Amino acid sequence: MPRPAKGARLGGGPSHERLLLAGLARELFQYGRITTTEAKARRLRPVAEKLITKAKKGDIHNRREVRKTITDVAVLHTLFTEIAPRYENRPGGYTRITKVGPRRGDNAPMAVIELVEALTVAQTAVGEAEAATKRSVKETEAAAPVDAAPADAAPVEDAAPADAVEETKEG
Amino acid sequence: MAVPKRKMSRSNTRHRRSQWKAAVPALVACDRCHEPKLGHIACPSCGTYNRRQVLSV
């Protein structure tokens, strides 16, 4: 049986909904970060991430598939040449939704949806190290936690301020 | 078409309206600027969420 899409229905009909989501995806790839209602952001996330996954493959077939949604060729080019290569090492989760409170006027819950930064080599290493630490913790349940806690804390703190600095420059 | 048979008394009207109250929003202190803000939402005064700058202020 067909399963309905998760989240709110948008617009006045199926074609309107497709067009709204296509427009939101185009704006997201064009500007990198957009403010919209939370319902629209939640619907947009899977659409945008599937488009990025197709763009990462980068062949002509996938370009034509993406072009069904992103009809603006300038944005299509940006997506394939700039956005997709950034996420080469990232297995999904290319967007981030942050709630920013209700809108004045109709009190609609608003959210910022943005493309996350590329994984740097250091972050990838940290991620692997954390995963390794978790594995070792699981394996040696009794002995490891005392050793693991400081090792976990240091890299996370290193990564977070770097992110914050990058974002402040952008915004 | 269904229509009211009786005039609604002021008492009934006021009883109904007395149940119409505003709820107090659950506020938490912002991590960075300690201003009260809604939970799970970027701080409107400093624009950060989870130590990440989300809004330009």
DSSP state of B31: T
A55-113: per-residue pLDDT in tens?
999 999 999 999 999 999 999 999 999 999 999 999 999 999 999 999 999 999 999 99
How big is chain A, counted in residues?
171
Q: Would the CB atoms of B53 and A168 count as touching at under 8 Å?
A: yes
- The first and second tokens of residue A99, run together, are 């709630």
- State whether residue A166 is helix, strand or coil: helix
Out of B41, B47, B56, the one facing A99 most closely (by C-beta) is B41
Chain A residues inside the 8 Å CB shell of B30: none
A75-84: per-residue pLDDT in tens?
999 999 999 9
For A96, the closest chain B residue by CA position comes to B54
Least confident of A51-60, A123-132, B27-36, B43-52: A123-132
Chain B residues inside the 8 Å CB shell of A101: 38, 41-42, 44
The answer for B 18-57 residues in CB contact with A (under 8 A) is: 38, 40-42, 44, 47, 49, 51-56
- The first and second tokens of residue A6, run together, are 């998760």
DSSP state of A92: S
Chain B residues inside the 8 Å CB shell of A171: 47, 53, 55-56
Q: Look up the pTM and report it.
A: 0.72
Q: Would the CB atoms of B41 and A112 count as touching at under 8 Å?
A: no
Q: What is the ipTM of this complex?
A: 0.78
